[in-house]
């Protein structure tokens, strides 16, 4: 695995606002925020010095990953830097979340930018010099911890954008909300967390943004390539549990009881017809998968109970609700036909990550200028899920993917997000940081008058 030379780490950034004041760059460009006539604008680019600081932040956070709802060190680093930029800072929202609010010098919309902070219970197997050796507790066990999904890059890019935007606050038309979110990967068992809890605790109560924007690094794309999509981008993700209750009997006398194993097999088969026969898949794809089948302790004893667990993925919230009802009906009636009972519980997870089509259309020309038109491509649907979706249910949202696989490597063969070999080309950090900055500095205000 390719690695980059180590940069010095930093835990404190109190001197950066002053240092960067004379180093922030702009270059001329042309773009049209809408289909109207082109207008001359000025593209904001970060200085080499700020880019190196973004890389240093990334490496520091990567070397010190923290699991969901335990992002104490990361949150402290973020809060300290945001305070040094002289913005309003709120901490301990949804346990470890940090929110910075920057007031611009001119009237305009409030734009929210979001980065997630948590890592995963994965042992890092890359050869980078800043590889994680951290340990954490997961489900009562001590486990290795790694930023295997790139959230360290998200935090670093948003810190870089905050630095640049704070130095240009007098030019900003409107305000900026910087959301540093914990627990995107899911809260520990028995806890709440993530975007849903931040909203529940009043994230948008005092300063409700007009739009929310997010970036996720993505090994399936080469460095600097942006994947966008209007409408649904990522699937909803829901977990279901089904307990089949029968009546225990000896394996030599199956007629003496009610076999929950055979019933469970029938439930599994019949549930597959929900997607293949009962919902209109021309509207949106859907997946219902079983991942756990547990029952029985001995070969010659038919047990009285079998436990099933699985996942539902979908790209339409209406069809999602239909699948919930169909799952309940199919499992219940199948079990009843066998003389057994089925008890179903659906744990609603993340909704569909939906990009407001008009917002995407308004920001696409600017995105193409920042990243290069040849690097901005329409993305396929992704059956993974993201809790950015909760924000986009409250206000118009846009979420894009940023490629981080080096250009000399085929993204199709690159280790995927969540892999112990996950690797990010740090050249992508500049692109992500400048996207955040320019989305704010050149936000197409005509979108708000739609």
Contact call for residues 195 and 391 (beta carbons, < 8 A): yes
Angle, CA 222 vertex, CA 216 and CA 227 arms, to 5°: 45
138 is catalytic: no
Which residue is catalytic, options 196, 305, 386, 426?
426
Backbone CA torsion sign across 106, 109, 110, 116: negative
| Listed residues 297, 320, 350: the one ending a domain | 350
pLDDT of res. 328: 98
| Listed residues 350, 370, 400: the one ending a domain | 350
Residue 6 lies inside a defined structural domain of this protein: no
**In the predicted model, what is the mean pLDDT of the chain?**
92
Q: How many CB atoms lie within 10 A of CB 329?
A: 13
Residue 253 lies inside a defined structural domain of this protein: yes
Number of separate domains in the chain? 2
Residues 288 and 371 in one domain: no
Q: In terms of C-beta density within 10 A (0-12 exposed, 13-18 middle, 19 or more buried), how is residue 5 classed?
A: exposed
Gyration radius (Cα) of the chain, Å: 24
Over range 156-179, report the average pLDDT: 98
- The strand pair at 231-234 and 249-250 is best described as unpaired
DSSP one-letter string for 36-58 = S--EEEEEEE--HHHHHHHHHHH
For residues 47 and 315, give the distance between their C-alpha atoms in angstroms, rounded to a whole number: 40
pLDDT of res. 18: 37
Residues 381 and 306 in one domain: no
Over range 116-121, report the average pLDDT: 98
- Considering the chain, what percentage of its residues have pLDDT values greater than 70? 91
Residues 291 and 158 in one domain: no
Residues 321 and 357 in one domain: no
Which range of residues forms the domain containing residue 177? 24-234+352-449
Residues 87 and 204 in one domain: yes
Contact call for residues 166 and 17 (beta carbons, < 8 A): yes
Tokens encoding 199: 């909203």
Residues 55 and 199 in one domain: yes
- 39 vs 51, which has greater pLDDT? 51
CATH value at residue 321 = 3.30.70.360
Residue 4 lies inside a defined structural domain of this protein: no
423 is catalytic: no
For residues 273 and 95, give the distance between their C-alpha atoms in angstroms, rounded to a whole number: 41
Q: Tell me: the pLDDT tens digits for 142-163?
A: 999 999 999 999 999 999 999 9
- Cα dihedral 376, 380, 386, 390, rounded to 10, equals 80
CATH value at residue 76 = 3.40.630.10
For residues 122 and 147, give the distance between their C-alpha atoms in angstroms, rounded to a whole number: 8
Contact call for residues 385 and 236 (beta carbons, < 8 A): yes
For residues 450 and 447, give the distance between their C-alpha atoms in angstroms, rounded to a whole number: 5
Residues 266 and 364 in one domain: no
Which residue reads 């118009």 in tokens? 396
Residues 312 and 325 in one domain: yes
Q: How many CB atoms lie within 10 A of CB 30?
A: 11
Residues 251 and 179 in one domain: no
For residues 52 and 10, give the distance between their C-alpha atoms in angstroms, rounded to a whole number: 11
Residues 228 and 186 in one domain: yes
Closest residue by Cα to residue 226 from 445, 435, 24: 435
- 190 vs 32, which has greater pLDDT? 190
Q: Tell me: the pLDDT tens digits for 233-275?
A: 999 999 999 999 999 999 999 999 999 999 999 999 999 999 9
**pLDDT exceeds 80 at position 342:** yes
pLDDT of res. 120: 98
| Listed residues 350, 384, 413: the one ending a domain | 350
Residue 12 lies inside a defined structural domain of this protein: no
How long, in residues, is the chain? 450
Residues 89 and 185 in one domain: yes
Closest residue by Cα to residue 131 from 115, 144, 116, 117: 144
Which residue reads 């990243």 in tokens? 371
Q: Tell me: the pLDDT tens digits for 216-231?
A: 999 999 999 999 999 9
Residue 10 lies inside a defined structural domain of this protein: no
Residue 444 lies inside a defined structural domain of this protein: yes
Q: Which residues pair with 313 in a beta bridge?
A: 237, 287
For residues 204 and 220, give the distance between their C-alpha atoms in angstroms, rounded to a whole number: 33
**pLDDT exceeds 80 at position 24:** no
Which residue is catalytic, options 51, 66, 305, 350?
350
Residue 41 pLDDT class (50, 70, 90 cuts) = low
Residues 139 and 170 in one domain: yes
């Amino acid at each position: 695995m390719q690695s980059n030379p180590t940069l010095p780490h930093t835990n404190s950034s109190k001197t950066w606002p002053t240092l960067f004041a004379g180093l922030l760059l702009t270059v001329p460009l042309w773009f049209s925020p809408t289909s109207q006539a082109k207008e001359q604008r000025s593209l904001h680019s970060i200085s080499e010095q700020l880019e190196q600081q973004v890389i240093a932040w990334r490496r520091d956070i990567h070397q010190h990953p923290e699991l969901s709802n335990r992002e104490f060190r990361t949150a402290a680093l973020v809060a300290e830097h945001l305070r040094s930029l002289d913005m309003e800072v709120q901490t301990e929202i949804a346990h470890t979340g940090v929110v910075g609010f920057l007031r611009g010098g001119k009237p305009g919309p409030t734009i929210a930018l979001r980065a997630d902070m948590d890592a995963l219970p994965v042992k890092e197997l890359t050869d980078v010099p800043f590889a994680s050796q951290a340990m954490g507790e997961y489900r009562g066990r001590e486990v290795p911890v790694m930023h295997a999904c790139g959230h360290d890059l998200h935090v670093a890019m948003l810190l870089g954008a905050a630095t640049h935007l704070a130095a240009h606050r007098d030019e900003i038309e409107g305000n900026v909300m910087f959301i540093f979110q914990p627990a995107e990967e899911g809260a520990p068992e028995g806890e709440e967390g993530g975007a849903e809890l931040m909203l529940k605790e009043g994230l948008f109560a005092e300063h409700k943004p007009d739009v929310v924007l997010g970036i996720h690094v993505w090994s399936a794309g080469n460095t600097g390539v942006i994947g966008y999509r209007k409408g649904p981008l990522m699937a909803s993700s829901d977990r279901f549990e089904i307990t089949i209750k029968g009546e225990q009997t000896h394996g030599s006398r199956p007629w003496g009881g009610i076999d929950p194993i055979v019933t469970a097999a029938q439930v599994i088969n019949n549930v597959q017809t929900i997607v293949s026969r009962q919902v209109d898949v021309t509207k949106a794809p859907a997946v219902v998968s079983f991942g756990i089948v547990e029952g029985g302790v001995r070969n010659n004893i038919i047990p009285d109970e079998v436990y099933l667990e699985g996942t539902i993925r979908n790209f339409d919230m209406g069809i999602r609700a239909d699948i919930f009802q169909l799952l309940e009906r199919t499992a219940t009636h199948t079990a009843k036909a066998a003389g057994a009972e089925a008890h179903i519980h659906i744990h609603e997870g993340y909704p569909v990550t939906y990009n407001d089509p008009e917002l995407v259309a308004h920001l696409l020309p600017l995105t193409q200028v920042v990243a290069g038109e040849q690097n901005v491509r329409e993305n396929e649907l992704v059956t993974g899920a993201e809790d950015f979706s909760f924000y986009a249910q409250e206000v118009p949202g846009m979420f894009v993917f940023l490629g981080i696989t080096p250009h000399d490597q085929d993204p199709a063969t690159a280790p995927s997000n969540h892999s112990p070999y996950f690797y990010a080309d740090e050249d992508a950090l500049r692109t992500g940081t400048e996207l955040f900055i320019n989305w704010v500095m050149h936000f197409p205000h005509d979108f708000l008058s739609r």
